[in-house]
Amino acid sequence: MDVAFVLYPRMTALDLVGPYEVLAHQPEVTAHFVAASPDPVTTDAGLAVVPTTTFAELDRADVIVVPGGGGWAEALADGVVAAWLRAVHPTATWTTSVCSGSTLLAQAGILAGRPATTHWALRDELAALGAVVRTDRVVVDGTVVTGAGVSAGIDLALTLVGLLWGDERARFTQLFIEYDPEPPHEVEVPGEPAADLVAFARGVFAGR
């Protein structure tokens, strides 16, 4: 099973690595890091990730994982990721995104009129791109799965494991990676966040 993890400049490392750690250890999986070129891609926090293939070389995948991150707006403007998604999505078993990666799925037309989730600070942007925005941590609609912000990529990947190989495999994977969050601080993810908080978060995503 070929799983393509999409790379683009200033993506968020956890959006990529969380799902990668859950999925790449499954014995059926061959993982691919796919990008516009073979050059290393630098995340928004400075981690360099080396692609294993390019958009021009990889024309299909069973599962596609699109991370989000600070570079989402630039990736939208560039249009290269969306163009590749339009080409490979029709033959994929599952097309997925984490955080602001959902905006790239939407740009490719994959989320038109479909329920989807994203980081709470980008719900308006996702709606403007044609998705029916939900606030769930993971949304499954047909062959498309979207995850909310950053850490939700682990939940998304565990959901995929259950869909692909059954709940028992998913439970084992969750146990194996000891995914039993007990955050040190009590924080409620905003349902309708304050305008100044949204503005600040958007600035972070934009790299300001």
Rounded-to-integer distance, Cα 161 and Cα 158, Å: 5
pTM (2 decimals)? 0.94
Using the predicted structure, report yes or no on whether residue 206 has a pLDDT greater than 90. Answer: no
Rounded-to-integer distance, Cα 198 and Cα 68, Å: 17
Q: Are strands 30-35 and 53-54 parallel, antiparallel or unpaired?
A: parallel
What number is the average pLDDT over the span 187-192? 74
- CATH code: domain of residue 99: 3.40.50.880
- Using pLDDT thresholds of 50, 70 and 90, give the confidence band for residue 201: confident
pLDDT in tens, 152-176: 999 999 999 999 999 999 999 999 9
Using the predicted structure, report yes or no on whether residue 127 has a pLDDT greater than 90. Answer: yes
Q: Give the CA distances from residue 31 to residues 11, 23, 79, 115, in Å, rounded to whole numbers and listed in that order.
A: 18, 8, 24, 27
Rounded-to-integer distance, Cα 41 and Cα 48, Å: 5
Q: Count H helices, E strands: the chain?
A: 8, 11
pLDDT in tens, 65-84: 999 999 999 999 999 999 99
- The tally of domains found in the chain comes to 1
Cα dihedral 206/68/126/207 (nearest 10): 0
What number is the average pLDDT over the span 128-146? 98
Containing structural domain, residue 57: 2-205
pLDDT recorded at residue 207: 66
Q: Give the CA distances from residue 74 to residues 71, 81, 201, in Å, rounded to whole numbers and listed in that order.
A: 5, 11, 16
Chain-wide mean pLDDT for the chain? 95
pLDDT in tens, 48-64: 999 999 999 999 999 99
What number is the average pLDDT over the span 106-128? 97
- Using pLDDT thresholds of 50, 70 and 90, give the confidence band for residue 187: confident
Active site residues: 99
- Using pLDDT thresholds of 50, 70 and 90, give the confidence band for residue 188: confident
Kindly state the percentage of the chain with pLDDT values over 90. 88
Rounded-to-integer distance, Cα 137 and Cα 66, Å: 16
Collapsed DSSP state (helix, strand, coil) of residue 70: coil
Using the predicted structure, report yes or no on whether residue 133 has a pLDDT greater than 70. Answer: yes
